[in-house]
Structure 1
Amino acid sequence: MSTAAKQFHEEEAIGKTYDFQIARRLLRYLRPYLRMLIPALILTLVLNLLGVLQPKFTQYAIDWHIVPRKTDGLMLLVGLFFGVQFLRFLFSYLQAVLLNTVGQYVMFDIRRELYDKLQHQEVAYYDRNPVGRIMTRLTNDVDSLNELFTSGVTDVLGDVVMIVAIIGVMLWMDVRLTLVTLLTVPMLFAATTWFRKGARRGYDMVRTRIARINAFLQEHFAGAQTVQIFNAEAKSLQKFDAINDDYRKANIDTIFYYAVFFPLVDFIGAVGIALVVWYGGYRVMNDALTLGALVAFIQYSGFLFQPIRDISDKYNVLQAAVVASHRIFKTLD
């Protein structure tokens, strides 16, 4: 295949993952909908702060009522817990509605701008770019941005708030037990770094190969009559098998990182909880810590690793959105 033909069929590889110029340009599409976006962000912060309160209810129930066998005030505590959970349910509903509404409006604006731009492109543009790739811009790439606006940024922001709040509460409760809990953080950081780099390469392979499939299918379906005239069905199928197999291998290679990372994070989290049980149990037996506080620490340890895991997972959403932004803005420019 000639160099020109390869450039026609191949999708460009990922360059710089983060680009603040791209971020500023994306913010331009959000600006008309700030009245909905700002309340959604506030709700995200409130939701995560309310989530941090849950282990404290457990601690107070154990220390104030279960261990001393006192029922006075227990129903009030249960009622407050139920009220907090109901507020989380209500705020979560409002947040989802606002974020998805903003996302759909932004996607509408981007699709409209893309379509208008493509209508005014010169004929030579369509000679250089297969229609399958152009369709990917209007569909897959725009959908990647939708996921970023509706869940990616807000979830990462909420997870960061959750991590800071949990560590702050744990330090306030017991500094030494908190330091023991955080002993596993370097291991988690190393695992996250390995996953991020591997997943980036894997996503690059998957993205370029699905774009190659889209371009190949469009070209061969549009020219199906020509393929049949030259009796080239078998040759065409052979080419598609090779492209399809490359896509399959890219997905399998990427799955390896997910298959290792998430169980590894669970294992590291289990090690952290084991350390809390070991050292915290010792302190409880020496009356340096209450049983309720130990149970709350165990819950906080589990809560601490979940947002870190979520942030690692959302890295791929961010990456997909940045890559899609580059491709969309390249088309618009």
Structure 2
Amino acid sequence: MALYMRPYQGVFWASVILTILLAAVAPALPMLIEYTLDKYILKSDSSGLTWMLIAMVTLLIGQTIIRYYHTLTTNVLGQNVIRDIRIQVFNHIINLRLKYFDNTALGKLITRTISDLETISNIFSQGLIQIIGDLLQLVVILGVMLYTDWKLTLIVLIPMPLMLWATYIFKEAMKSAFVEVRTWVSNLNTFLQEHISGMAIIQYFSREDQEMSKFDVINKKHRDANIRANWYFSIFFPVLEIILAISTGLLVWYGSKQILANSISPGVVVAFLMYINMIFRPIRELIDKFNTLQMGMVSAERIFDVLDTDEFTPNHGTYAPETIAGKIDFEKVWFAYNEEKWVLKDVNFTVNPGETLALVGATGAGKSSTINILTRFYEIQKGKISLDGVDIRDYELTALRHHIGVVLQDVFLFADSILNNITLNNPAITFDQVVEAAKRVGAYDFIMRLPGGFDFQVQERGATLSSGQAQLISFIRALVHNPSILILDEATSSIDTETELLIQQAIENIMADRTSIVIAHRLSTIQKADKIIVFDKGEIKEMGTHAELLSFDGYYKKLYDLQFNSVGI
């Protein structure tokens, strides 16, 4: 944490100084009351009493001002540190390779980035510095008490070992309780995220009651974990009150005897009554803040687990050409998402600049995996992939992906305007370029019919648009970035026949200027491809043009006959 506080040393040291000041002035009021009682009230000196009252009011005002700035500086420090950590966590997450997200629930990452970080912020605003301040106050007050009357101080502290034992038991119990609470918070967030995202499926299949039952179970677990944590509080604080009562009783008993024996003044006993409360109040707050600190440490461990994750796509390459021709070479490529099972086996092919390559095959044959490794979303285990004769691992990662435009089957649109969904807030892309791309795709007219045109606000995942319209937006998004290589992964699967015919010619014109890779189940969309590869269980079974593959009377011919005979029935 010290590393994150380094940019805010001024605010940090201001907090420390104010903490020391609060601790230093803490015993001042009891000392004034002791002095006032012994020197003025018992001697009926009203003029001196007035001045002492003025001094007390001045002291309280000063303490209030110090406490105000202390609270302000600690919160400013905490919020700045948390902002920096949240930026670091998000920057870390968006650079992780996709394999990490395949194995990590989205709700857990949201919990780490939001809830856990808010818990850590309490370490600064209510935890670490406050604990130091309370400890300093304890030391100062105990020092004053020992200096005033060491015998009376020892009598007052007789119940202290019992309090230390109870505190230790409470601390251990709360640590496990907080771990359980944070675990169920994460589970709750994960469940909500998944089920809100999949609400259509739940309602399509009338699973509301069943999913509500699952939510009820998780919610009860979360409730029970919080109840257990609060139960420890409900036991511990009454124990502290009992110990305080014992200490106060010992003070009254021994102090009264000393007053009657003229060994101490009444003012000392009154001051000690205030000292006892001032000792136990920081102790109570220390326990509460220590629990805040423990919760923060639990959350910190979970956050640093994410930050310690090093599943990055290696970016050691430095080659970053402004333009590329677009020649692609796969040489004896082997790839597996899990090393136990190969998805691609000894794949070899070449796509020359300006050519169109089509990939066909059954679901799971390896078509999309070919695209994922070309863009380095996943790393191959064996072989080599080259772009213009240069190994793609020698490219600077951002430069590599800049030259490749992808249109996926599952279109993702942000809750933003159509314009920002197309440009992705890239200031280098002008509005005129967006309009031109929209016209070339055939989407300009439908966009202009929407309220606000390109400023139309798209709801999350494009809920306010049809599947075909969302797909057209993704076409514009890919084309406006002017990639040298265009990848269409089942890109026309969500478009109706009329819309497909509308944009087919535009797609052909666009692909004529760049290397293109098309993945399609509709064989009618790829008949003009320069080269077609047929995948089966991760292996290339056939390769050639549409006419050549039909003449082979093999895998492609069977797929073609099956599809077109089905259409003709």
TM-score, structure 2 normalization = 0.53
Structure 1: stretches of 5+ with no match in the other structure: 1-25
Report the more deviating stretch, 315-324 or 223-232.
223-232
* Structure ranking higher in helix proportion: 1
Quote the residue 1:162 is aligned against: 137
SS of the aligned residue for 1:309 comes to helix
Q: Does 1:180 align with 2:155?
A: yes
Quote the residue 2:21 is aligned against: 46
What is the CA RMSD across the aligned residues, in angstroms?
Answer: 1.2
**Separation (CA, whole Å) in 2 of partners of 1:49 and 1:198:** 33
8 Å CA contact retained: 1:181, 1:276: yes
Structure ranking higher on relative contact order (CA contacts 8 Å, 6+ apart): 1
Q: Does 1:106 align with 2:59?
A: no
**Separation (CA, whole Å) in 2 of partners of 1:293 and 1:109:** 50
**Separation (CA, whole Å) in 2 of partners of 1:99 and 1:179:** 35
**Separation (CA, whole Å) in 2 of partners of 1:40 and 1:270:** 34
Report the more deviating stretch, 163-172 or 197-206.
197-206
1:4-27 deviation digits (Å, cap 9, x = unpaired): xxxxxxxxxxxxxxxxxxxxxx11
8 Å CA contact retained: 2:38, 2:266: yes
Match of 2:286 among 311, 316, 327: 311
Report the more deviating stretch, 222-231 or 122-131.
222-231
Which letter maps to 1:284? I
Kindly report which structure 2 residues correspond to 1:61-140, keeping only aligned pairs within 5 A, or say none.
61-140=36-115
1:241-289 deviation digits (Å, cap 9, x = unpaired): 1111111111222221111111110111011011000000000011001
Which letter maps to 1:277? V
8 Å CA contact retained: 2:179, 2:298: no
Which letter maps to 1:204? V
Kindly report which structure 2 residues correspond to 1:213-292, keeping only aligned pairs within 5 A, or say none.
213-292=188-267
SS of the aligned residue for 2:262 comes to coil
**Separation (CA, whole Å) in 2 of partners of 1:48 and 1:266:** 23
* 1:74 positional shift: 2.0
Which letter maps to 1:268? I
**Separation (CA, whole Å) in 2 of partners of 1:317 and 1:195:** 13
Which letter maps to 2:24? L
Quote the residue 1:171 is aligned against: 146
**Separation (CA, whole Å) in 2 of partners of 1:62 and 1:266:** 27
SS of the aligned residue for 1:258 comes to helix
Which letter maps to 1:27? A
Which letter maps to 1:307? P
**Separation (CA, whole Å) in 2 of partners of 1:151 and 1:232:** 44
8 Å CA contact retained: 2:112, 2:303: yes
Which letter maps to 2:105? P
8 Å CA contact retained: 1:144, 1:321: yes
**Separation (CA, whole Å) in 2 of partners of 1:122 and 1:219:** 21
Q: Number of aligned residue pairs: give it.
A: 308
Between structure 1 and structure 2, the one with the greater Rg is 2
* 1:229 positional shift: 3.0
8 Å CA contact retained: 1:130, 1:218: no
**Separation (CA, whole Å) in 2 of partners of 1:254 and 1:104:** 26
8 Å CA contact retained: 2:41, 2:49: no
TM-score, structure 1 normalization = 0.90
**Separation (CA, whole Å) in 2 of partners of 1:97 and 1:305:** 25
**Separation (CA, whole Å) in 2 of partners of 1:72 and 1:52:** 24
1:107-128 deviation digits (Å, cap 9, x = unpaired): 1111111111111122222221
* 1:232 positional shift: 2.2
8 Å CA contact retained: 2:180, 2:225: yes
**Separation (CA, whole Å) in 1 of partners of 2:224 and 2:64:** 41
* 1:66 positional shift: 0.7
**Separation (CA, whole Å) in 2 of partners of 1:276 and 1:45:** 28
Shift >3 Å, 4+ stretches: none
Which letter maps to 1:267? I
**Separation (CA, whole Å) in 2 of partners of 1:251 and 1:328:** 21
1:56-106 deviation digits (Å, cap 9, x = unpaired): 111011100111111242222222222221111111121122221111211
Match of 1:149 among 118, 124, 129: 124
Match of 2:177 among 202, 209, 212: 202
